[in-house]
Amino acid sequence: MIRSIRSVPFGDYRANCYALMSGGQTLVVDPGAEPGLLLDWLGDVSVAAIVLTHCHSDHIGVVNEVVAATGAPVWCGRQDVAALADPHLSGFDEVGLDYRVTGVGRGLKDGDMVEWGDHGLRVLEVPGHTPGSICLVDDDIIVTGDTLFAQGIGRSDFIRGNGTDLERSLARIGSLPSGLEILPGHGARSTLGVEKERDRFLGGNPRSGHTATGEATA
């Protein structure tokens, strides 16, 4: 089981980095910015792997530094592997950087298990925000990246985004148990049941509707 879940938002876009601890090992999700601060926050934990929910710069900007410090492998959705090494597709070129993540050890597909310590999370492919966007889910939590937030959904107007795919992915997430705790890429945590009541794309009984290009944060 997961013994603890720590998270801190880093960088100008306040992207959440997660450290999920199980069986003496830590799974790091979306190390995105401020390498010195992020590595200090991680401390001397044993990092089993780095998992990326998608290829955008604010979620991948400290991957190389974490790899250098820990030797951990990098895993991401199979459709975003090439984009990690392309500053135009990741968005680094917009801020004048040539940061590239190469050497991805595993391109994750639907139904794969991300296992570390004595726990595992199932991969859901959720294209829309990017073609390779993924969620990670077990009986208690769902890590949603920039696909779903508290009071918002992901944007589909970035390069390679697709609104139709995003709507399908959100409907799929909405079919999951309402008790799941949402660990989003930005902002506060929520539960799937609460978000089903807010958002028509999740197939619940919404009090409001978000557009498929409206994201709660960056």
Q: Which CATH number do you get for residue 125? A: 3.60.15.10
- pTM of the model as a whole: 0.94
Which token pair is 31? Answer: 């190390």
Nearest to 80 by CA among 42, 130, 33: 130
Question: SS3 for 29?
Answer: strand
Strand partners, 19: 6, 28
Q: What angle do CA 215, 84, 55 make, to 5 degrees?
A: 15
Written as tens digits, the pLDDT of the chain (218 aa) is 899 999 999 999 999 999 999 999 999 999 999 999 999 999 999 999 999 999 999 999 999 999 999 999 999 999 999 999 999 999 999 999 999 999 999 999 999 999 999 999 999 999 999 999 999 999 999 999 999 999 999 999 999 999 999 999 999 999 999 999 999 999 999 999 999 999 999 986 655 444 443 443 33
- The answer to whether position 190 is within a domain reads yes
Tokens of 145: 């990246």
User: What is the token pair recorded at 114?
Assistant: 């991300």
Number of domains in the chain: 1
- Residue 174 corresponds to which tokens in the numbers above? 């909405």
- pLDDT tens string 146-187: 999 999 999 999 999 999 999 999 999 999 999 999 999 999
- Domain assignment present for residue 210? The answer is no
Question: Is residue 192 within 8 Å of 182, Cβ to Cβ?
Answer: yes
Contact yes or no for 104/57 (Cβ under 8 A): no
85: in domain: yes
Q: Is residue 47 part of a domain?
A: yes
Domain containing residue 195: 4-93+109-202
Sheet of 15-22: strands edge to edge? 4-10, 15-22, 25-29, 47-52, 74-77, 106-108
